[in-house]
Amino acid sequence: GAVVSQHPSRVICKSGTSVKIECRSLDFQATTMFWYRQFPKKSLMLMATSNEGSKATYEQGVEKDKFLINHASLTLSTLTVTSAHPEDSSFYICSASLAEPYEQYFGPGTRLTVT
């Protein structure tokens, strides 16, 4: 149980285009979903937290107009990287959590490469 999927697993896009990444909780309804960014050989950096039907809460330093998060249902959250640039290339990981103890279940990640 508690499986989270991400799509696509890898994406290559040209600079200036937008890319959408989907995160789905397959067998449970998540109260909260999280988006992380991970640089090579680094830890996970929380980008934003989202609850279904409400606006996402972004961490300091994360541009909300560039990283658009939509949490349309209890099982789906999307991250759209708008006007992507090479510096946006990274590994993006989502997670979903149930209520206490707020354990998070992680997706397999999406490798974004902007050329």
Partner 1 sequence: AQSVTQLGSHVSVSEGALVLLRCNYSSSVPPYLFWYVQYPNQGLQLLLKYTSAATLVKGINGFEAEFKKSETSFHLTKPSAHMSDAAEYFCAVIDYNNNDMRFGAGTRLTVKP
Q: Binding partner 1 by CB under 8 A: which of 56, 79, 93, 96?
A: 93
The verdict on 107 binding partner 1 (CB under 8 A) reads yes
The interface region with partner 1, picked from 34-42, 63-71, 73-81, 82-90 by CB under 8 A, is 34-42
The verdict on 70 binding partner 1 (CB under 8 A) reads no
> Distances from the Cα of 76 to the Cαs of 39, 86, 98, 109, 114, in angstroms?
24, 27, 14, 15, 24
The interface region with partner 1, picked from 13-21, 60-68, 74-82, 96-104 by CB under 8 A, is 96-104
The interface region with partner 1, picked from 60-68, 69-77, 79-87, 100-108 by CB under 8 A, is 100-108
Concatenated DSSP letters of 17-35: --EEEEEEESSS--SEEEE
Neighbours of 15 (CB within 10 A): 12
| Separation of alpha carbons 107 and 6, rounded Å | 6
CA dihedral 56, 110, 62, 2 (to 10 degrees): 40
Q: Binding partner 1 by CB under 8 A: which of 1, 54, 60, 102?
A: 102
Contacting positions for partner 1 (CB under 8 A): 4, 6, 32, 34, 41-44, 46, 49, 91, 93, 95, 97, 101-109, 111
